[in-house]
Amino acid sequence: MIFTNDKAIYLQMADRLCDEILSGAYKDDDRIPSVREYAVLLEVNTNTAVKAYDELSRANIIYNKRGLGYFVTPGAKKQILKERKREFMKERLPELFRQMQLLGITLEDVKDAYDAQQ
């Protein structure tokens, strides 16, 4: 995984695991890789992976079964979608609209570009 400088590594790791849940790689009550396995996979310090898992656990995205590992909380996908949509609408969309206005990009231009991606 290539990390960026705009967000803490443990948060980027948490985002990646959420992406994997959204994509269907992990479903409700599926076991996810252990902290050590995920740290090795992403080539980070185990403590960083622990922070990512703690963050997801606090957000009720994953839960720990003592001695068995971490699992996806039932309803986690729906919760992630809800939070990401809220974040997009509140934080990203206003900046997108501002840039569109500055550059003279219309909603029709965006629709055409979107359709071209399909």
pLDDT at residue number 4: 85
- Which run of H or E residues covers position 71? strand 69-72
Q: Give the single-character DSSP code of 64.
A: E
Per-residue pLDDT tens over the stretch 65-105: 999 999 999 999 999 999 999 999 999 999 999 999 999 99
pLDDT value at position 5? 87
What is the distance between the alpha carbons of residues 60 and 10, in angstroms, rounded to a whole number? 16
Give the count of beta carbons closer than 10 Å to the beta carbon of residue 83: 13
pLDDT in tens, 13-34: 999 999 999 999 999 999 999 9
